[in-house]
Amino acid sequence: MRHARIIATGSYVPERVVSNADFDQLLGEAVGDWLVKNVGIRQRHFMADDQVTSDLAVAAGRAALARAGLAPDALDRIIVATDTPDYLSPATAAVVQAKLGASRAGVCDLNAACAGWVTALDAAARTVATEPEDQRVLVIGAYGMSRFLDWNDKRTVTLFADGAGAALIGTGLRPGWLATVTAAAGEYHDALGIYTGGSYRPATISNVTHYGPPHVQFVRKFPTTFNVEQWPRLIERLLAKASAVTGTRLGPDDVDHYYFTQVNLRAIEATMAVLGQPLTKTHWIMDKWGYTGSACIPMVLDDAIAQGKGPKSDALVLFCASGGGIALAASLWRWC
């Protein structure tokens, strides 16, 4: 049998730093203390004027390839998970393929908002496990949300940031990928997103004049406790599925590392408490890098590895993500 495993990771954070104090001055009110207390964000990074989402993705992809000791032409596929693409069409993955020089690789984008990378990781694992000709798939989460910010909207402009994270999926002698589950609360599809630019509201002159250019916005409220309520349920489903697959009963205590969507540190703390797990089993980056959407989970994994806090051989690693839509995905892997 063919098995999928994570071979290497990489990430990229653009150079420009914007602190909470910068937003205090920009917005004319003290928002920094609230952000630290309620969300955990102290600063964030934005890409330069001459950078685009594909540039962030390429940098993260190159880092993963370098760690694996592979050249770009070793790639069979590239999947880019993003909801801030270079273009509506064609796929940003095609741009990444060209910039990387990965001429052999097939390409596609995947948009499940901030749950995109975990969903793409599942697609890559299934491909590697079932397609003999596809042995190496580069899965990149890339986020260039600074291009879609309303700088007068304190609810969004202070949260979002730019960055990219990547994982190289390849074959292994033992199962790395164990199980994935997905879910959605589609009734909130019109609550948070970028609503101008598609077929629903094309970016015509009249629409842009009336609604403004494409920008991320909170349109209506959704439950503030959504993640804390839904993440443990998703994890319970995932562990039950993985138990059936492996023939071994798995519970929260058996998981060595938990990596969550990095939107709110308080939600991560609360979820770990519900699971009865110590915070030493998780890691976070929103304090220094802000919220990087579909890129944040591979970025937090790569940062943990860089700090010597990442998974060791045979560790069970759980990824749990949620994003606009509301889309959810969780995946369990053995580090091998």
What is the C-alpha separation between 334 and 336, in angstroms, rounded?
Answer: 6
* Mean pLDDT along residues 144-155: 94
- Answer for the pair 334, 317: CB distance below 8 angstroms, yes or no: yes
* Mean pLDDT along residues 10-34: 96
> Could you tell me the maximum CA-CA distance found in the chain, to the nearest angstrom?
60
Give the residue among 322, 324, 321, 295 at the shortest CA–CA distance from 47.
295
Tell me where in the chain the CATH 3.40.47.10 domain(s) lie.
3-173, 179-185+220-334
pLDDT at 44: 98
- DSSP code of 225? T
CATH class of the domain whose range is 3-173: alpha beta
pLDDT at 223: 86
Each residue's pLDDT tens digit, 255-296: 999 999 999 999 999 999 999 999 999 999 999 999 999 999
Rounded CA Rg of the chain: 19
* Mean pLDDT along residues 26-53: 96
Domain 179-185+220-334 has CATH 3.20.20.20: no
What is the C-alpha separation between 232 and 119, in angstroms, rounded?
Answer: 18
Cα–chain-centroid distance for residue 200?
25
* Mean pLDDT along residues 103-107: 98
Each residue's pLDDT tens digit, 175-234: 999 999 999 999 999 999 999 999 999 999 999 999 999 999 999 988 889 999 999 999
Report the 10 Å Cβ neighbour count for 66. 12
Phi–psi pair at 334, nearest 5 degrees: -100, 130
